[in-house]
Every structure is written in structure tokens, then in C-alpha cells.
Amino acid sequence: MSETIHVDQFIAQPPAKVWRMLTEPDRLATWWAPGDIRPEVGHRFTLDMGRWGRQPCTVTEVEEDRLLSYTFGEGDVDWTITWRLVAEGAGTRLFLAHSGFDLDDPRHAMAFENMSGGWAKILPHLARRLEETPV
């Protein structure tokens, strides 16, 4: 059975600014991981996850300023990360769905446990970086 981590974070910045943090390599590296991401369906890229190595990814869905989805760890863990941005007042509600965890696989079960709490820490870090980053 496939499980999904769901996290949402309010960010007091407009969706276009949040979008840039998700889709521009230099900005993505300031709060999560270096990589050559580009918001273009079919774009293949890697994310450097430090001690976990470079993870191959492919962009699968793009709706500018609203939705970005990509595979993560292709050929190994085969997860999907989906970011959905919803304007909320003067800010953005950012929804994350990290899916594809097979809890019968011990590696997946451990990653699901660790990343459930990890994402809850990473998204507030993204919000703080946005406060510090010029448009």
C-alpha cells in the first residue's frame, strides 16, 4: 500500500515569490537542496541530497504559480513530490504531498517516519528564507 506525507504551510508572501523558491535552482538550494530544476514537463534533473546522494527527478506537472510535481529517486525509491500553491489573503498556502512510500519496505518505512517530521521543519525554513530573500 502506498502512503503519502501531507504538509501545509502558510507563507506570508504572494504565490509568484513562493513559486520562484520552488523552481529556481539558486533559490531552491537556499532552503532545501541544490539541483538543476526547471518548471518544464519532461525536464530531467537531479537534487543533491548530501549523504543520500544525487537523486534523479523528472518534472511531471506544471501550472505556473500553482502546481509543480516531479518524480524523486527514480529507479530507487520512486517517490513523487507535489507542491500546490493557493493564494490566501496577501500570502500563500503551500501544500506538499510526498507520495509513493511502500511501508512494507523497511527503507520506505524509515524514510516515511523521518520525512514526516522533516518536512514539517523544512517548510517553516522555506517561509523564513522567503522573508530574507529579495523578489
Please list the pLDDT of the chain residue by residue as tens digits (135 residues).
Answer: 689 999 999 999 999 999 999 999 999 999 999 999 999 999 999 999 988 899 999 999 999 999 999 999 998 999 999 999 999 999 999 999 999 999 999 999 999 999 999 999 999 999 999 988 766
pLDDT, residue 48, reads 96
Residue 27, CA distances (Å) to 18, 20, 104, 119 in order: 10, 7, 35, 18
Cell numbers for 57, please give them.
527527478
